[in-house]
Chain A
Amino acid sequence: MIIQTMALLVDAYRELCAKRLFWITMILNSLVVVVFAMVSINENGMKFLIWQMPADFAGVTITSETMPPGLLYRTMFAALAVPWWLRWVAVILGLISTAGMIPDLIQGGTIESVLSRPIGRIRLLLTKFVGGLLFMTLQVFVFSLLVFLVIGIRGKSWAPEVFLAVPIVVTMFSYLFAVCVLIGLLTRSTIAALLLTAVVWAAIILVNAGDLFSVSIHENIKAELRLEQAKVDRRERNATLAILGERNAEREAEGLEPLEALDPAPTSSELEARDIRLPVTKLRVRELEASESIASRWRRVIYFVKAVLPKTGETIALLGRWTIDEEEFARLGAPPPSDDRQRVAQEGSEATAEEFDNRPLWWVLGTSFAFVSVVLGIAALIFRRRDF
Chain B
Amino acid sequence: MVMADFNFELVSPERLLLSESVSAVVIPATEGEMTVMANHAPTMTSLQPGVVTVKFADGKTDRYVVFGGFADILPTGCTLLAESAVHVDEVSRDDILKRVEVARGELEAALNDEHRASIERYIAQLGTVQGTILPA
Same complex origin of A and B: no
